Amino acid sequence: MKSQATLPVAATALACLAGCGPGVQSVMAPGGSQAGQIATLAWLLFGFGAVVLAIVIVALWLAIRGSPRLRTALARETMIIALGLVFPAVTLTLLLGYGVWLMQPDGDHDDRGVMRIEVVGEQWWWRVAYAGATPIASANEITIPVGRPVEFVLNAADVIHSFWVPSLGGKVDMIPGRTTRLRLTADRAGIYRGQCAEYCGGPHALMAFEVVALPPTEFDAWLAREAAPATAPSTDGERHGQTLFVAAGCGTCHAIRGTAASGTIGPDLTHIGSRRSVGVDTMKLTHANLVRFIAEGQHVKPGNRMPEFRIFRPDELDALAAYLSSLR
Amino acid sequence: MRISPSVPRIARLALYGAAGLALLGFLFVWSGVYSVAASRGHWPTMEWFLTFAMRNSVKTHAYGIDAPPLDNTDLVTLGAGHFHSGCAFCHGGPGVPISPIAQGMLPSPPDLATQMRPWRDRELFWIVKNGIKYTGMPAWAAQERDDEVWALVAFLRRLPSLDARSYRDLALGNLQVPQQSGREVATTETASEAIGACARCHGDERHAPTSALVPILHGQPAEFLTAALESYAHRRRASGIMQPVAVELGRDDLGRVARYYAGLLPPARPLNLLPDATAAIVRGRALAEQGDPEARVPPCAGCHGADALKTYPRLAGQNAPYMTNRLRLWKGGLAPGTDGEAIMAPIARALSERQIDDVSAYFASLGAAPGAPAR
């Protein structure tokens, strides 16, 4: 019974390890060269660990069930020196050397074709800025081109956060008052999920984000769209929403480029309608979820810095959500 | 009930005695022979014992409370306004007799103008905040508003020195109560005491509020005033002074009085600025217009300017002490009770003490009308 159960359980655990979710947030599902190296190293370590475990099990079995001759051989001092000292010293040194060689920053001094994106960790969201002719501010979603190295320039505004997109590479801490860097390259288009990997207070667990990797031409088109100011509202409902947005003071914390709203305390909302989520990857971006986040954000994401705006009537919330959705 | 023979005889007798006494006491109460009539008064021994217990309880519980400076006209005037409507019915006041109904209570409420015990400030505070069991003295309606309780204590300190005229000046402010005709007295409520008159504290067409701790309502949006009164009436917004007043107002009254104040032009008021006010106003203006993004403080003007939502208050020309007091209440941890407070409280908590003073001085210095007057 016991031996029957072990195999399926182990297989399930391994499968889960290899593909948590649909492979958008897993070290074992690399989407770029840096992540590939980490995955290679991880597999090597697992393999090596398995070999060592096998040796230990065999030695243990021999020590208990082996013939007296084998047991005497096993207890010899040379055996202890060989397996207990020499073997680990040699193999661990080799592994360390391989790891250091594998993880060396490749071509970090070569800045040609590198795209630079600044990310600031804030309680509890991600401030994103694309350097360029028109600096583009965004939040909680990072779009990158496929095949081009991206250097993330990382900072923290309040406490230590950690930037980690498991499918694209290793994690790097974001430390207040200090700039850290991380270079990643996505080899295939897709969506990769990232997560703050350093406990940073209340809603830390909900401080996630998505990296959207687009083919270069699509990326250029996206960047051009993102650089443009916000679209003007086109329907009465959207216009009413914009009026409410201004009158309720939303623009004192949130910026919408091309309007008077220029707050820098909260996420930039210039193109929020084209993002995939609301409330820092807490919920999918839908009309209903926008309404929910505005009116009961503290239930959706307890402790977040935006107060609940329960002052709005349902029709006003609808207008606001319509306006925000129109900012594509 | 059998007690082991090893227990000494004297102890056994004591146990039986105690059990017997308890049974007798229960039978006495059960029989209803004891009278709870307020008309009869206490036995003198009982009276002494209860008073003894009350005095010592107050002294012990008030120990360790720090009294703020109370010699402040704004505090005294605010306290007077509330005393007149909240306390005078039972405790009387100079020129205000104790209601015969209240006199029939046991113990009958003391006339505080003439026979207040020599309590310390902190003891008066404790009594006003917590009330006293078995006496009919109620606790403060909003337990989270110590600042209001202190205003009343400040007034109680002033009370013994007041005559009928000076009491009326304090309690009724600048209100001129029109004389009612015999028919009016007969068919409506008598108005001479003006218990529920908002203008006693908040002023009217010609007068500013009597205390700078009371907000200027003139020209505020009617929607904001209505929402504020409703939140007091439903006890969502904490105030032991405003809740009893708002509860008395009917839904229509509430809207009407809100529209009355919304239609008033800003009152003439003396602007008492501190010597270093200019620098504070400059700093306050910067905060009001640009905010303090580092501290996550958005610019105040974004929500409190003339174009903001009608459910938001306008702050131009508001009393500085009122604003600093309200901001400090939130900063001190007052739980937001209304939808508006839910937005403002976290911002107030992010303000520094100096920013609170600065921004209040700035808004108070704006002479312009708070909001648009009635057209």
Sequential DSSP letters for A16-56? HHH-STTTTS-TTS--SHHHHHHHHHHHHHHHHHHHHHHHH
The ipTM, to two decimals, is 0.84
pLDDT at residue B184, rounded to an integer: 86
- Judge whether A308 is closer than 8 Å to chain B, CB to CB: yes
Do B84 and B193 touch, CB atoms closer than 8 A?
A: yes
- Judge whether B312 is closer than 8 Å to chain A, CB to CB: yes
Give average pLDDT by consecutive 10-residue segment, chain A, 328 residues: 46 46 77 88 92 93 89 88 92 91 69 87 93 83 92 94 92 94 91 94 92 94 91 94 95 93 93 88 88 93 92 95 94
DSSP tag of A255: B
- Residue B78 or B116, more confident: B78
- A265 and B296: CB-CB below 8 Å? yes
- Closest in A247, A265, A307 to B343, CB measured: A307
pLDDT at residue A15, rounded to an integer: 46
d(CA B203, CA B217): 9
Q: Rounded to whole angstroms, what are the CA distances from A66 to A79, A80, B14, B72?
A: 16, 17, 82, 95
A178 by DSSP, 3-state: which? strand
pLDDT at residue B171, rounded to an integer: 93
- B342 and A307: CB-CB below 8 Å? yes
Please name the residue of chain B whose CA is at the shortest distance from the CA of residue A306.
B343
Average pLDDT, chain B: 90
- Judge whether B371 is closer than 8 Å to chain A, CB to CB: no
Put simply, the chain A residues between 246 and 265 with a CB less than 8 A from any chain B CB are 246-249, 251-253, 263-265
Q: The pTM is what?
A: 0.85
pLDDT at residue A208, rounded to an integer: 92
pLDDT at residue B375, rounded to an integer: 29
- Measured between beta carbons, which residues in chain B are less than 8 angstroms from residue A311? 309, 311, 339-340, 343
pLDDT at residue B372, rounded to an integer: 37
d(CA A256, CA B129): 48
- A252 and B303: CB-CB below 8 Å? yes
Give the percent of chain B with pLDDT over 90: 74
- What lies within 8 Å, CB to CB, of A155 at 6+ separation is A118, A119, A120, A121, A174, A175, A176, A178, A179, A180
d(CA A298, CA B249): 33
- Measured between beta carbons, which residues in chain B are less than 8 angstroms from residue A251? 302
Size of interface A-B (CB pairs under 8 A): 50
Nearest CA-CA distance, residue B345 and chain A, Å: 9
Please name the residue of chain B whose CA is at the shortest distance from the CA of residue A252.
B298
pLDDT at residue B326, rounded to an integer: 96
pLDDT at residue B1, rounded to an integer: 53
User: Strand A115-122 to strand A150-156: parallel, antiparallel, or no bridges (unpaired)?
Assistant: parallel
- What lies within 8 Å, CB to CB, of B242 at 6+ separation is B232
Mean pLDDT across the stretch B75-96? 94
B33 by DSSP, 3-state: which? coil
Nearest Cα neighbor of A231 from A260, A264, A270 is A270
- pLDDT of residue B30 exceeding 60: yes
- Closest in A247, A252, A308 to B307, CB measured: A247
- Measured between beta carbons, which residues in chain A are less than 8 angstroms from residue B308? 247-249
Nearest Cα neighbor of B271 from B204, B365, B358, B359 is B365
Q: Which has the minimum average pLDDT: A51-60, A133-142, B50-59, B327-336?
A: A133-142
pLDDT at residue A109, rounded to an integer: 63
d(CA A120, CA B93): 63
* Residue for token pair 């303000």: B351
Beta bridge partners of A156: A121, A176
- Judge whether A302 is closer than 8 Å to chain B, CB to CB: no
User: Strand A172-174 to strand A208-214: parallel, antiparallel, or no bridges (unpaired)?
Assistant: unpaired
Please name the residue of chain A whose CA is at the shortest distance from the CA of residue B299.
A252
Residue B137 binned pLDDT confidence (cut-offs 50, 70, 90): very high
pLDDT at residue B40, rounded to an integer: 86
pLDDT at residue B5, rounded to an integer: 64
